[in-house]
């Protein structure tokens, strides 16, 4: 078992992942199409504010 000092902080990731606003992806609507490896996925924002990604 190892213990870390309270002042120790984890190392930051070498590269941050890109960040996208779902509202911008859907252009204010509720749907966006995302292409990955020649397949189309649909990103949907539900009325409850949840995100669903389907093939």
Range of the structural domain that residue 35 is part of: 22-54
The answer to whether position 43 is within a domain reads yes
Q: Considering the entire predicted model, what is its pTM?
A: 0.66
The answer to whether position 36 is within a domain reads yes
Per residue in 5-24, pLDDT (tens digit) is 556 666 666 788 999 999 99
Contact call for residues 45 and 22 (beta carbons, < 8 A):
yes
Task: Tell whether the model's pLDDT for residue 51 goes beyond 90.
Answer: yes
The answer to whether position 12 is within a domain reads no
Q: What local confidence, expressed as pLDDT, does residue 53 receive?
A: 97
Our count of domains for the chain comes to 1
Q: Which residue has the tokens 């669903």?
A: 52
Contact call for residues 43 and 26 (beta carbons, < 8 A):
yes
How many Cα atoms are found within 13 Å in the side-chain-facing hemisphere of 40?
5
The answer to whether position 3 is within a domain reads no
Contact call for residues 26 and 45 (beta carbons, < 8 A):
yes
22: Cβ contacts below 8 Å, ≥ 6 apart = 32, 43, 45, 51
Q: What local confidence, expressed as pLDDT, does residue 7 receive?
A: 63
């Amino acid at each position: 078992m190892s213990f870390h000092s309270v002042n120790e902080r984890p190392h930051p990731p070498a590269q941050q992942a890109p960040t996208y606003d779902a509202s911008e992806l859907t252009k204010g609507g509720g749907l966006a199409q995302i292409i990955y490896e020649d397949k189309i996925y649909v990103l949907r924002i539900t009325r409850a504010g949840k995100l669903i990604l389907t093939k």
